[in-house]
């Protein structure tokens, strides 16, 4: 049976994202306020997108030209309003409302009932917004021969296979100064563009390259094309104290003669600014639970570790980040003491120059273990998910010395999720116990979700990012299955604007089912997957090493 750490609750869920439903037809005016706008019929958008994408550019332009000529006739050529116009409104739009498979380089045409004052067209009065929330920038112009037609031309192509909403406010006025009768909104979906995913030939199985099988270990890229693999469980109840080095150039590995100063698993491992690696805390045993306060630092010049000051509180399953000033911020985790087992709501700061741990001021709003944290551009630290934390996230204000809860909170629970940093530094968190959600924290927009969710439940999976922004999710455990199922499947997060979309890989799998493994992005852009828990947890940990190569 796969391992579910002690005290893990079953969250109430997180819900599925809103589905595109309720199809529509071309409107002859603004919709009633009660009607849902900008929706795409469920289950049909992909088929429609692929078929519509095959419509030639000439056919599309003929359609626009036909609508333009029709409006020119109705509006009386280049002059004022036609004889039947009563109010200043939007009569037609192109692409039509609810259309799908629209070419990404298309212009948007708006057909008004009266000539439009071009001075009232701006980023606020005429907005184009992708489903990710990103604004689409472009030019707005009034047709010279028919001032009742407005053209929006995007600066860059629209996002692929994404819903885009066009919002026209009453700030738009006609040439007599009269405002639009009422705000208008419509939506269309662009054609699908085959994303760059991953193919089986990009998965290189290096076999049992590790000297010791291990899970709940840590793997850290060093500054010299090497990866440090340390600690972990060799098997249930047996903690490892051995260190291995993997060369990303030769794709060989070697076991260091000197062991860790203390065997540890589920510890924190952080690359310091001087190229050394801090190993902090962890646990020396699972039953009975024995958290560690001891720390050590791996020195590449010595091929061994040296002692370091201990933590103030013994803890495992904490998370840590390197701060801009060279210190390490370590948060949360789980420990035990006179009161018994408990999750932690505090943080500690490590100064590698002084070799000293100090308590960080403030307390979290909720304790958390098995969470993820990341350094933000302004020097703050964001914490996402964790056991007992629900869907909450917290921001540690380093200069103020306090935790704050961003609003709104993350949309999904994330307990022992797959998490990594995107190339732009934003944290990416996916899945976890009893959830399929995806969360990205953006320093400007806050918590964002992906366009869709993870396709399969996977706890204790591993995530790592290619330099182009794609994130690879590998393996993990589905605890909803009976018995619990370890996965070989892989999913890819493909970035779209400020968020992105998850894609399952059909027929592309890990060589062996695995969970509790580590995924590391090397300096050359490859992703290294090491170790893992085997399907039969009574057996030793996996020695496998798999390399994923970017295209």
Q: In this structure, is the dihedral angle defined by the CA atoms of residues 192, 195, 201 and 205, taken in order, positive or negative?
A: negative
Residue 217 has pLDDT above 50, yes or no: yes
Q: What is the mean pLDDT of the segment spanning 187-199? A: 84
Q: What is the mean pLDDT of the segment spanning 34-38? A: 36
Give residue-wise pLDDT tens across range 374-383: 999 999 999 9
Of 87-91, 218-222, 286-290, the poorest mean pLDDT is in 286-290
Looking at residue 325, what is its pLDDT? Answer: 97
Q: What is the mean pLDDT of the segment spanning 75-89? A: 58
Confidence of residue 114 (pLDDT cuts 50, 70, 90): very high
Looking at residue 481, what is its pLDDT? Answer: 83
- The candidate with the shortest Cα–Cα distance to 395, out of 323, 443, 324, 328, is 443
Looking at residue 411, what is its pLDDT? Answer: 63
Helix (H) or strand (E) holding 47: helix 45-52
- The candidate with the shortest Cα–Cα distance to 364, out of 379, 340, 385, 378, is 385
Residue 9 has pLDDT above 50, yes or no: no
Looking at residue 429, what is its pLDDT? Answer: 95
Phi, psi (deg, nearest 5) at residue 291: -70, 155
Looking at residue 10, what is its pLDDT? Answer: 40
Confidence of residue 161 (pLDDT cuts 50, 70, 90): confident
Which CA distances in Å does 516 have to 4, 145, 213, 398, 438? 10, 66, 12, 31, 19
Confidence of residue 195 (pLDDT cuts 50, 70, 90): confident
In this prediction the pTM is 0.72
Q: Which residue has the higher pLDDT, 217 or 101?
A: 217
Report the 10 Å Cβ neighbour count for 141: 14
The DSSP 8-state label assigned to residue 119 in this structure reads G
Proportion of the chain above pLDDT 70, given as a percent: 83
Average model confidence (pLDDT) across the chain: 85
Q: CA 36, CA 99: separation in Å to the nearest integer?
A: 15
Q: In this structure, is the dihedral angle defined by the CA atoms of residues 349, 351, 354 and 356, taken in order, positive or negative?
A: positive
Give residue-wise pLDDT tens across range 440-485: 998 878 888 888 899 999 999 999 999 999 999 999 999 988 778 9
Residue 39 has pLDDT above 60, yes or no: no
Looking at residue 524, what is its pLDDT? Answer: 94
Q: What is the largest CA-CA distance in the chain?
A: 92
Q: What is the mean pLDDT of the segment spanning 319-341? A: 94
Residue 55 has pLDDT above 60, yes or no: no
Give residue-wise pLDDT tens across range 515-536: 999 999 999 999 999 999 988 8
Phi, psi (deg, nearest 5) at residue 135: -80, 140
Q: CA 404, CA 395: separation in Å to the nearest integer?
A: 5
Phi/psi class of residue 432: alpha, beta or left (left: φ > 0; alpha: ψ in -120 to 50)? left
Give the burial string for 461-499 (b: 16+ CB within 10 Å, else e). Answer: bbbbbbeeebbbbbbbbbbeeeebbbbebbbbbbbbbbb
Q: Which of helix, strand or coil describes residue 403?
A: strand
Residue 136 has pLDDT above 90, yes or no: yes
Looking at residue 7, what is its pLDDT? Answer: 53
Residue 340 has pLDDT above 70, yes or no: yes
Q: Which residue has the higher pLDDT, 91 or 77?
A: 91
Which pairs count as long-range contacts for 29-37, CB under 8 Å and 24+ apart, including other chains? 29/89, 29/90, 29/91, 30/89, 30/90, 30/181, 30/182, 30/183, 30/184, 30/185, 31/185, 37/97, 37/165, 37/185, 37/186, 37/187
Of 152-156, 213-217, 279-283, 321-325, the poorest mean pLDDT is in 152-156
Q: What is the mean pLDDT of the segment spanning 146-172? A: 92
Confidence of residue 255 (pLDDT cuts 50, 70, 90): very high
Residue 408 has pLDDT above 80, yes or no: no
Q: CA 547, CA 315: separation in Å to the nearest integer?
A: 31
DSSP state letters, 471-518? EEEE--EETTSSS-EE--EEEEEEEETTEEEEEEEEEEE-SS--BS-E
| Domains of the chain from N-terminus onward | 45-190 (2.60.40.1220), 200-548 (2.120.10.80)
Residue 540 has pLDDT above 50, yes or no: yes
Give the burial string for 421-456 (b: 16+ CB within 10 Å, else e). Answer: bbeeebbbbbbbbbbbbbbbbbeeebbbbbbbbbeb
Structure tokens at 452: 């869709």
Residue 141 has pLDDT above 80, yes or no: yes
Q: Which residue has the higher pLDDT, 518 or 44?
A: 518
């Amino acid at each position: 049976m796969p391992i579910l750490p002690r005290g893990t609750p079953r969250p109430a869920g997180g819900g599925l994202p809103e589905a595109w439903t309720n199809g529509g037809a071309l409107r002859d005016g603004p919709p009633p306020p009660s009607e849902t706008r900008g929706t795409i019929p469920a289950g049909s958008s992909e088929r429609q997108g692929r078929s519509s994408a095959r419509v030639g550019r000439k056919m599309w332009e003929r359609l626009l030209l036909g609508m333009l000529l029709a409006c020119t006739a109705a509006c009386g050529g280049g002059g004022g309003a036609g004889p039947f116009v009563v109010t200043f409104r939007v009569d037609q739009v192109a692409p039509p409302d609810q259309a799908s498979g629209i070419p990404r380089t298309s212009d948007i045409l708006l057909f008004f009932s009266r000539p439009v004052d071009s001075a009232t067209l701006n980023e606020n009065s005429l907005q184009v917004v992708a489903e990710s929330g990103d604004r689409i920038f472009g030019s707005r112009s009034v047709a010279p021969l028919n001032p009742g037609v407005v053209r929006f031309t995007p600066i860059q192509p629209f996002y692929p296979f994404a819903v885009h909403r066009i919002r026209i406010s009453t700030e738009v006025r006609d040439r007599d100064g009269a405002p639009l009768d009422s705000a208008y909104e419509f939506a269309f979906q662009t054609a699908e563009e085959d994303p760059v995913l991953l193919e089986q030939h990009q998965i290189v199985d290096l076999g049992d390259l590790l000297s010791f099988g291990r899970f709940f270990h840590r793997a850290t890229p060093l500054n010299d094309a090497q990866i440090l693999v340390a600690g972990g469980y060799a098997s249930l109840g047996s903690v490892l104290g051995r260190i291995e080095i993997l060369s990303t150039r030769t794709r060989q590995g070697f076991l260091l003669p000197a062991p860790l100063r203390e065997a540890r698993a589920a510890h924190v491992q952080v690359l310091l600014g001087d190229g050394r690696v801090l190993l902090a805390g962890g646990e020396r045993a699972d039953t009975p639970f024995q958290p560690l306060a001891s720390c050590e630092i791996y020195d590449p010049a010595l091929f061994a570790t040296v002692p370091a000051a201990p933590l103030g509180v013994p803890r495992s399953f904490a998370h840590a980040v390197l701060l801009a000033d060279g210190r390490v911020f370590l948060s949360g985790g789980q420990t035990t003491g006179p009161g018994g087992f408990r999750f932690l709501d505090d943080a500690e700061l490590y100064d590698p120059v002084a070799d000293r741990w100090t308590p960080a001021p403030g307390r979290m709003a909720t304790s958390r273990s098995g969470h993820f944290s990341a350094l933000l551009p302004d020097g703050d630290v964001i914490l996402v998910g964790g056991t007992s934390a629900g869907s909450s996230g917290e921001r540690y204000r380093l200069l103020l010395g306090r935790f704050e809860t961003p609003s709104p909170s993350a949309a999904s629970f994330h307990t022992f999720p797959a998490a990594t940093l995107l190339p732009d530094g934003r944290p990416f968190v996916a899945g976890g116990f009893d959830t399929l959600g995806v969360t990205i924290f953006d320093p400007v927009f806050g918590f964002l979700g992906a366009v869709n969710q993870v396709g399969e439940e996977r706890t204790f999976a591993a995530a790592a990012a290619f330099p182009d922004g794609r994130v690879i999710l590998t393996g993990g455990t589905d605890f909803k299955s009976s018995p619990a199922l370890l996965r070989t499947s892989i999913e890819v997060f493909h970035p779209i604007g400020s968020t992105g979309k998850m894609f399952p890989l059909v027929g592309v799998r890990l060589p062996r089912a695995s969970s509790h493994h580590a995924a590391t992005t090397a300096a050359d852009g490859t992703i290294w997957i090491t170790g893992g828990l085997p399907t039969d947890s009574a057996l030793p940990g996996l020695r496998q090493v798999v390399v994923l190569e970017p295209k």
